[in-house]
Amino acid sequence: MVVSRPVSDRAAVGEQRTRWSFAVGPGMVVGLLATAALVVSMFMSWRSGGVHPSEIPAAFLWDRDATGSPSLLVFLIPLAVLLGVGSVMRGGAGLRVFAGLLTLVLVGLYAYQLHDVTDSLHASLGDALDPGFYVAGIAGLVGLVSGFVPTMVPSRRVDRVDRIDAV
């Protein structure tokens, strides 16, 4: 036997709403780590004798006899900014790849020119390099790789909404 009850003037209706949101992804985290490493490398010695990037002329990258200013920081600071912006920006993977690649080019040119200098002095390139150089190189490589990792991951959120409707 089926029993029916009259529907009251107000009935509770349960509704589900689905929202898409974005959570922090691995590309953002790895990109921010690369940015931090690049900034730290600016304060470390790049060449034996305690030579920091602020003491290395920017023109050294194409002229091994260069002296004066501006320093290598003219390139390193904008690269760190590009890497950082690409890390926090949605769709910033291209910026991270670009900044990482340019950082590797900068580090490679520096090593090439320093190799020419040390070779003419009959010294070893490995003995002339200090940790700041390696930290910048690793930061460039990690920044490049972070461009191929998703910046943000989509997540679906289901909310249950109870409302009372008049019938």
Residue 66: inside a domain = yes
Residue 167: inside a domain = no
- pLDDT of the residue at 57: 92
- pLDDT of the residue at 6: 57
Measured distance CA(80)–CA(100) in Å, rounded: 9
Residue 158: inside a domain = no
pTM passes above 0.75: yes
Residue 37: inside a domain = yes
- pLDDT of the residue at 7: 53
**Are 27 and 93 within 8 A, CB to CB?**
yes
Mutual orientation of helices 131-146 and 73-88 as an angle, nearest 10°? Answer: 30
Residue 31: inside a domain = yes
- Domains contained in the chain, number: 1
**Are 161 and 16 within 8 A, CB to CB?**
yes
pLDDT tens digits, the chain, 167 residues: what are they?
566 655 554 545 556 666 656 677 888 899 999 999 999 999 999 998 889 999 999 999 998 888 888 999 999 999 999 999 999 888 889 999 999 999 999 999 999 999 999 988 889 988 899 999 999 999 999 999 999 988 776 666 666 665 665 55
Measured distance CA(6)–CA(80) in Å, rounded: 69
Residue 4: inside a domain = no
For residue 28, give the nearest of 69, 73, 83 by alpha carbon: 83
- pLDDT of the residue at 54: 92
Residue position matching structure tokens 């709403």: 17
Query: Which domain covers residue 51, as residue numbers?
Result: 27-147
Residue 19: inside a domain = no
Residue 114: inside a domain = yes
